[in-house]
Amino acid sequence: MKKIVIVALIITLVISSVALFAQGGAEAGANKTYSVRMPTGESEGDFMTVWAKNFATHMAEKTDGRWNIEVFPYGTLGENDDIVELAQNGVVEFVFADYGWLSSYVPQTNTLALHYIWPKDNVPAILEWVNKNGKFMAMMEEKYREKDLVPLGIYYEGWQWLTSKKPINELSDLVGLKTRIMASNMLSRDYRAYGIDPTPMSYGEIYSGLQTGLLDAQSQPMFANYSMGFYEVADFFVQLWAEPFIGIPCVNKGFFDSLTEADQKLIRGYWKGVVAESAVWIQAQNDKLQKEIATKRPSISFKELNPSEVAQLKTLAETKVYPDFPSIGGPDSAKMLEVLRKDVADAQKALGL
């Protein structure tokens, strides 16, 4: 029944999209009006949906109502892979998804899925510098354009927490842990390097997977653990300091290239301008929600790996995963990894970190 509803909705969206492009296309002038869609991979009140709605408000205000962007929270237009495909095919104009799901469409996105690329501290500031000054973003846009998408930036949503039904007191406790991850070959290899048993599964099936014992654990940023209720079916939260969760808003290439230069500049300007602001917002949210989780379930334990443990996992990632990265990341991915790592180092130097 769900698939039937989604197919019917897609047909409706296709018809409206054809009508939209028929109105003007590349000849669209400065006074053209737009009614477009932006599905996201997260629930109402979570990062992607909040900042997509902020984007919609910004575009409406800056154009005196010429732009109307309707935001669809997670599940309303399908699963994460569904909404990326809708945007890729131009059925919807925008999409806000994450590095894990997008890597299935643009394999070079796996550069962002490698563990221990980012330092433990000051990730938001470093990400802002990379977005505004780094060379990685231009390379990423080139690869996305080959897949009919244009990325508008990369955004920090907090560090991933491993939430488990089983205690994790030592690194050896990770071995054999059936852990839900996003459908990403890169992430599977990341977690397998530590002895974890990675289990790709859709976002909407995680809760029941934990509840029924199909899963031992799963990996999410703190806000998702709260909004999706995962804390209700997991007792141990462990911070590996391996993987910040990164969101990537995108726009369909054909649609974006049909816009006036002024509208393109307005869209890009918004997303570049909120990198730091959105990071501050989500960190405050994550801190608040962690306290709420601790209040609602005092039995939950929160553990952060110490520097020695982090160093051990980082060594495993660098020796077991990094060498095979180009086979997964696709053409030019090795160069992109080199550029990203240099961007991160340049950001640290520029920011005095």
> What b/e string do you get for 52-77 counting C-beta neighbours within 10 Å, with b at 16 or more?
bbbbbebbeeebeeebebebbbbbeb
Average pLDDT, the chain: 92
Contacts of 57 (CB under 8 A, 6+ apart): none
Of 138, 155, 50, nearest to 102 (Cα)? 155
Whole-model pTM? 0.90
Q: What is the domain partition of the chain in residue ranges?
A: 2-156+246-283
Helical packing angle, 333-350 and 136-145, nearest 10°? 150
Q: Three-state SS for 120? A: coil
pLDDT at 168: 96
Which tens digits make up the pLDDT trace of 171-205? 999 999 999 998 888 999 999 999 999 998 888 99
Q: Could you identify the residue written with the tokens 């990094």?
A: 322
Q: What is the mean pLDDT of each run of 10 residues along the chain (353 residues)?
A: 45 48 49 96 96 98 98 93 95 96 94 95 95 97 98 97 96 97 90 96 93 96 95 97 97 98 98 96 97 97 97 97 94 96 97 95
Cα gap 206→181, rounded to integer Å: 9
Q: Based on C-alpha coordinates, what's the Rg of the chain?
A: 20
Are the CB atoms for 189 and 324 separated by under 8 Å? yes
Cα gap 275→226, rounded to integer Å: 23
Cα gap 160→245, rounded to integer Å: 6
Dihedral angle of Cα 5, 10, 11, 12, to the nearest 10 degrees: 90
Number of neighbouring beta carbons within 10 Å of residue 6: 16
Number of neighbouring beta carbons within 10 Å of residue 204: 12
Which tens digits make up the pLDDT trace of 72-115? 999 999 988 899 999 999 999 999 999 998 999 999 999 999 99
Cα gap 77→253, rounded to integer Å: 20
Element of type H or E holding 290 = helix 275-296
Number of neighbouring beta carbons within 10 Å of residue 96: 26
Q: Could you identify the residue written with the tokens 């911070």?
A: 239
Say whether domain 2-156+246-283 belongs to CATH 3.40.190.170.
yes
